[in-house]
Amino acid sequence: MTSPATSPIALVTGGSSGIGESTARALRARGFTVYAVARRVDKMAGLAADGVHTFAMDVTDDASMTAGIARIIDEEGRIDVLVNNAGYGSYGAVEDVPIDEARRQFEVNVFGLARLVQLVTPHMRAQKSGRIINISSIGGKFYEPFGAWYHATKFAVEGFSDSLRMELRPFGIKVVLIEPGPIRTEWNEIARDSLLERSGDGAYAEHARRAHAVLTRFDEPSRASTPEEVADKIVKAATVSRPAARYPVGRGARTITTSRDLLPDRVFDEVVSRTYGTR
């Protein structure tokens, strides 16, 4: 093992694009030694050229995650910040989405995140400090048609993180949730394309196509924020002395989460139904 690091060490999952790539760059600019991981190393060539350590990690493969954490500890002697960013959205009517696909969303969005928490926690406890930053979504606070499995994973991340925050507080480890609203990344394209693939024909076709149009509009600059805006909030969560428990970020994020807290279910159902054309 090398001598203990002098700069803080951060691990960012899902580092090949979007929020993960922007976060790796932003943390590097703030003086962190950054490890960015994803399934495809070739997509992180730009990060590697800019001084970010990159290697392959599959958050659905336990051996891959275990080896990755062991490598960082061997090379640096510690891990100060874990950014659990890897995740995806696969949409479609509950009736149409195969259970295997539902399980895969949970494996990536919840169980991979949780396993990395298990792997880094002993090291953070030993050093009596650390930050675990879990990328949730405003989708962990509200709901929309055809996103049941995705929203279920993000509701799970919210509850998991809140409980984890209580457990780890006595050991000097802080747990923070980041709740992005619409962000201009490939996430939206993947989600809406899967919606048409699964429910574009059949009983749900008309409503699914209306929802697809709504998701497409969320890519417009006037409606969506940039990955860099989310990265800035993650850097704040990683560096301030007393981070908030959660940070909504992006256009409309705080408005939506506040509305969900304040409006009765029947009223919120009506708002969502009108927005997505499923009335």
The answer to whether 91 is a known catalytic residue is: no
For the chain, the residue count is 279
Residue type, 205: A
What is the bridge-based pairing of β-strands 9-13 and 81-84? parallel
> The tokens of 120 are what?
């880094």
Q: How far apart are CA 129 and CA 79, in angstroms?
A: 9
Beta strands in the chain (DSSP E): 9-13, 33-38, 53-56, 81-84, 130-135, 173-180, 246-249
- Active-site position among 91, 143, 150, 247: 150
Using CA atoms, how far residue 274 sits from 18, 145, 255, in Å, is: 30, 11, 17
Torsion of CA 45, 46, 52, 58, to 10 degrees: -50
Question: Residue 171, exposed/middle/buried by CB under 10 A (0-12, 13-18, 19+)?
Answer: middle
Residue type, 78: R
Return the C-alpha torsion angle 196, 22, 33, 82, nearest 10.
Answer: -40
Instruction: Assess contact for 188 and 227: CB atoms under 8 A.
Output: no
Rounded Cα gap, residues 38 and 27, in angstroms: 17
- Is-contact 109 153, C-beta < 8 A? yes
Q: Mind telling me the catalytic residues?
A: 150
